[in-house]
Amino acid sequence: MRTILITGATDGLGRELARRLVAAGDLVIVHGRDPERVDRVRERAGGRTEGIVADLAELRQVERMAAEVLDRFDRLDVLVNNAGVGGGKPFSGRAESADGIELRLAVNYLAGYHLTRRLAPLLVSSAPARVVNVASVGQQAIDFDDPMLTKGYGRMRAYAQSKLAQIMFTFDLAEELSGKGVTVNALHPATFMNTSMVREALVPPISSVGQGAAATLRLIDGLDGVTGRYFDQDRESRANAQAYDLEARKRLRDLSDDLIRRTLA
C-alpha cells in the first residue's frame, strides 16, 4: 500500500484523484485549507485517508505542513502538487499572498517548490517514489526583471508564468534526484476541466475532471523510470523554451530560495 499526498484535494482534480486512489487501496493524505472540507472528502472517499490542513498562500504554513508530514508519516511514495489558483474572475486585478508575493507565483509554484524540497529526503528513503506536478499547457516566460508582475499585470499572464515555473522546477529536481529512485514529471492534465476554478473564470468547460484524473494517474501508476518530462495529457510534449534554458532555471532557483529564506527568517 502506497502513501500518497495530494495538495488541493478538496475540490476538482485533487478530490477525484483522492477518490480513485483510495478506492485502489492506497493511503491518501488529503490536503486542503478548510478542515471541514478535508473531513468531508475523507468521509466520502472511505478507505484509508489522513488529513492535513494548511494555506499554501503562506510559506510559514507550508513549512509547518512539511514538518507535520515528516513527523506523522514514515514514508511517502507519491507527492502530487496539485493545489493552485486559477486565472480568477474576469477583470480581477493583481493580488499578493500573505507574504507579499504575487499570489499565483506563491501558491501555484513557490509553495510546491518549498514543500517538495522539504519532503525530498522522505521521498528518497521511500524509493521508488514519484513527484507529479500538475502544470498547464498555458505557459509564459518569466520576466526576471519583474517576476512579481508589478508592471503590466495580467491575470492569465500570472497564471501562465507560475505554471512554467513548475515545469522548470520539475526538470531541475529530476536531475537532482537522478539515480535516487525518485521520478519527477509534470503534466497538463486536460483543457478547461469542469472545475470551480474554470467556472470562476467564466470559461465554458470542455473536458471532464475524469479525463484529467486519468492522465494524472498515468504518471502516478505507470511510466516506471521516466523522469524529467512534461506531458500534455498522455503525450510527451515540449514546454515553453525557457524551461530548457539552464541560466533561466538557475535564476528561478536563486529567486525562489531568496524569497523563502527572507520570508522564513
User: Mind telling me the catalytic residues?
Assistant: 159
**Nearest residue to 110 via CA among 65, 56, 189:** 56
Residue 80 CA to residue 221 CA, distance in Å, equals: 12
Residue by residue, what is the 3-state secondary structure of the chain? Answer: CCEEEECCCCCHHHHHHHHHHHHCCCEEEEEECCHHHHHHHHHHHCCCEEEEECCCCCHHHHHHHHHHHHHHCCCCCEEEECCCCCCCCCCCCCCECCCCCEHHHHHHHHHHHHHHHHHHHHHHHCCCEEEEEECCCCCCCCCCCCCCCCCCCCHHHHHHHHHHHHHHHHHHHHHHCCCCCEEEEEEECCCCECCHHHHHCCCCCCECHHHHHHHHHHHHHCCCCCCCEEEECCEEECCCHHHHCHHHHHHHHHHHHHHHHHHHC
